[in-house]
Structure 1
Amino acid sequence: MIGSILKVQLFLFMLLASTWTFADQHNEIVWGVNVSPPFHIWQGEYENAGFCDTLVNTFERELPTLSQTKRKLPSRRITKLMRSNQHLCFPCLIKGSNYNKDFIFSEVTHAYPPHGVITSASNAQKLIKRFGEPLSFTQLAQSNYRFAQPIERRYGELQPIVEDYLIPSDHFQEVSGEGAHMNLMAMIATNRIDYTLDYKMLMTYFQRTEGQSDPDFEPLVFIPIKENQDKVILGAVGCSNNRWGQHAINNMNRVLNQVKSDSDFLQSLDLWLGTDRPRPEFSDERQ
């Protein structure tokens, strides 16, 4: 009899413990952040002034009753943990892209101008003369110009072109490690790589922080692309596709209007994407 009572008490204790753990977990958000300026900036003049840094900080202010922690991880590790249903959210992902289909997303937080080709000034005119302006990325990707990208970087509707023509070629290269984005900009500025594909803001950050400090660096040039001309890219928070992630997303969506109108967040977007950046409230396009 006593043994049966003890078993029941143990069962009730374990049930309550699991309930408390579940409740605690659902009152937290764990952010995965990485070194990728100007998304996240960890040092220098603009430390913690990346617009994804500001987005996370704004959610922290708007959701003060939730426990929010930041885990500094490589981007590949972040996506691997999220795909394995670990409790993790990534603040700046492209919403609705095929390669992010494993995650669940918040409503749109901001919008990006389309990706373009970033190259050196000496290469820019050659590329424009051969591939046009806006440039045909499909034709460029089939040429022998050397392309590189940070590991785990993806490019919305242009990604199939990268996968069909660049990744299988011998002029494709991935750049890994902390600071991969800016290392790649330096490689282009010294003509070790011919070009990359990305947002203009990466070039802007490099020019403001490193591009003028080294006489060996060529100026960089951003060339618009024909295939995605005038296509807006929508950003959102992505979380692990489980009950914890859905709860985190629900909490974020509750305060999203306040987040999107927050003056610090808007100023950070203006600083890096420009004051002429697309506004998500005026866009219905999905990438």
Structure 2
Amino acid sequence: MIGTMLKASLFILLLCASTWAIADQHDDIIWGINVSPPFHIWQGEYEKAGFCDTLVDTFERELPALSQSKRKLPSRRITMLMRKNQHLCFPCLIKGSDYNKDFIFSDATHVYPPHGVITTASNAQRFIKAFGEPLSFTALAQSDYRFAQPIERRYGELQPIIEDYLIPSEHFQEVSGEGAHMNLMAMVAAGRIDYTLDYKMLMTYFQRTEDQTNPDFERLVFIPIKENRDAVIIGAVGCSNNQWGQHAISNMNRVIEQVRSDSDFRQSLDLWLGADRPRPEFNNRN
């Protein structure tokens, strides 16, 4: 009897899984959403106010005739499914990165200012004295200071420096799990690691949402980096590189100008990237 019930339960689960898979097949766009503020924000004062949340909402408004759905998944799971040609799109990826070369991309949606070093105020003084201002990330990466990054996080043109000097060393650490980005900010503020590398907006979100009177936390500082000081980073939607993904990207590119100029999306970018964020002219190659 128990065996029969277990078989029946397994059959129902498999049937449901098949139904979900079939339902996904018929969606014109399936968004992979992860917990990584301020890209996506799932709770608190800024719930659903991440700029990637706003980007998805803007595409939904501009493409009302299309069937669109969202799947909340870890970023590592999203990219794995996309590499396996499952039907999925990630709304905020770096366009042109070697790490993301397996995906198909929309035209540019926005640009980021360059990554920098995030550390405590006391460490910032030491770093600038030892490695200059703007800071030589290559020199810092070869020092004994402790570095950490969220698992699956990549940093464009700075990634080779991490792979050459930090990953092989005992001073390198990866942070995993839901909320890894903010956990990492807390680790830096508490002195558990010495620095990380990322956009200034992650520090901004942490400072706006965390209790800055916490006696365990030191004030965080963002230091520009010499190696990428004049760079901007192109953001775009990435989708699985198959026929479904090509169709999804084609639809997005039809309304890309409306998305870029949408007031809600622009205000969200201003909120997190800053009103002084870079605003280069886009063209069809971006």
TM over 0.5: yes
Secondary structure of residue in 1 paired with 2:111: strand
For 1:29, give the aligned amino acid.
I
2:80 corresponds to which residue? 80
Secondary structure of residue in 2 paired with 1:158: helix
Q: May I ask how many residue pairs the two structures share in their alignment? A: 266
1:153 corresponds to which residue? 153
Aligned counterparts of 1:91 and 1:234: Cα–Cα separation in 2: 13
1:116 corresponds to which residue? 116
For 1:30, give the aligned amino acid.
I
Q: How does 1:89-100 map to 2 (within 5 A)?
A: 89-100=89-100
Matched, 1:200 2:200: yes
Aligned counterparts of 2:211 and 2:250: Cα–Cα separation in 1: 41
Classify 1:28/1:282 alpha carbon distance in 2 versus 1 (closer, same or farther; 3 Å).
Answer: closer
Classify 1:96/1:43 alpha carbon distance in 2 versus 1 (closer, same or farther; 3 Å).
Answer: same
Contact 2:188 2:194 in 1 (8 A): yes
Secondary structure of residue in 1 paired with 2:234: strand
Aligned counterparts of 2:283 and 2:190: Cα–Cα separation in 1: 38
Secondary structure of residue in 2 paired with 1:165: helix
Aligned counterparts of 1:215 and 1:285: Cα–Cα separation in 2: 49
2:10 corresponds to which residue? none
CA deviation string 1:37-57 (max 9, x = no partner): 000000000000000000000
For 2:90, give the aligned amino acid.
F
1:276 corresponds to which residue? 276
Aligned counterparts of 2:183 and 2:281: Cα–Cα separation in 1: 34
Identity rate, percent: 83
| Runs (5+) with no aligned partner, structure 1 | 1-20
Q: Output the TM-score relative to the length of structure 1.
A: 0.89
1:249 corresponds to which residue? 249
Classify 1:96/1:129 alpha carbon distance in 2 versus 1 (closer, same or farther; 3 Å).
Answer: same
CA deviation string 1:134-161 (max 9, x = no partner): 0000011111100000000000100000
Quote the RMSD (CA, aligned, Å).
1.9
For 1:198, give the aligned amino acid.
D
Matched, 1:105 2:102: no
Q: Which runs of 4+ in 1 moved over 2 A?
A: 24-27, 282-286
1:130 corresponds to which residue? 130
Aligned counterparts of 1:211 and 1:226: Cα–Cα separation in 2: 32
Contact 2:83 2:102 in 1 (8 A): yes
| Runs (5+) with no aligned partner, structure 2 | 1-20
When Rg is computed on C-alpha atoms for both structures, the one with the higher figure is 1
Contact 2:103 2:241 in 1 (8 A): yes
TM-superposed CA distance for 1:280, in Å, is 3.8
1:266 corresponds to which residue? 266
For 2:185, give the aligned amino acid.
M
Secondary structure of residue in 1 paired with 2:228: coil
